[in-house]
Amino acid sequence: MTSSFVCSAVLRAASLYLLWIALAGVATAELVVGVPVVLLAVWASLRLLPPARTHHGPSRAALRALAMLVLRLPLQSLVAGIDVARRAISRPLRLQPGEVVCACALPRAGAPRGDEDMAPGAGIARGVFRVLLALQPGSLPVAEREDGALIVHCLDVTAPVADQLAHEEALFSAAIGPIAAGGRTP
């Protein structure tokens, strides 16, 4: 086992255990059950997506961008939730629901990108981005077009939804680094 493999396993285990605690709580029974679940998830994760052999860890810029993304998500969800509640209780309802088409540059799984090889997690990055968008109240990605654009259902089609999602994609791409571009990790 190489040090990058061990480092990747420890990082994945810590991340998954924190996710487990966030979902299941901190009662003793949940913590005990979480250990084998996390170990199994780490094993599956390492089998399905092994760490790159030349990977030397994320850059400081990527770590900073990831921290900003993680810290921004709860605040943004709170603000969006308040907006949804405000719209729901105001009379008349200030809702203009519909679908908006938003460009998305993140690579799709199996999508050809010329002669270059796709990074192992390229399609996964797009899926994770869609999940992050789904966590934000007021918008929900519902489909993809052939050209890769996302079709997003939103509560107000007059709001700058496409601009906001482009900003979110830029933050997400900065946080995940080269995987977002479909290239190999450094």
Give the pLDDT of residue 173.
85
pTM of the predicted model as reported, rounded to 2 decimal places: 0.59
Q: What's the rounded Cα separation, in Å, for the pair 34 and 20? A: 6
Residues whose CB is less than 8 angstroms from the CB of residue 71 and which lie 6 or more positions away in sequence, other chains included:
none
Q: What's the rounded Cα separation, in Å, for the pair 159 and 96? A: 9
Q: What's the rounded Cα separation, in Å, for the pair 166 and 112? A: 22
Structural domain boundaries in the chain: 1-51, 61-181
Give the pLDDT of residue 83.
81
Give the pLDDT of residue 62.
72
CA distances from 120 to 52, 86, 136, 153, 178 (A): 8, 42, 27, 30, 11
CB 161 within 8 A of CB 152: yes
Query: Rounded to the nearest 5°, which phi and psi values hold at 4?
Result: -70, -35
Per-residue pLDDT of the chain (186 residues; tens, 9 = 90+): 677 788 888 888 988 888 888 888 888 888 899 999 999 999 998 888 887 655 556 667 777 777 887 788 788 878 878 887 887 788 887 778 899 999 998 887 665 554 344 455 557 888 888 888 887 777 889 999 988 899 999 988 888 889 989 988 988 888 877 555 544 443
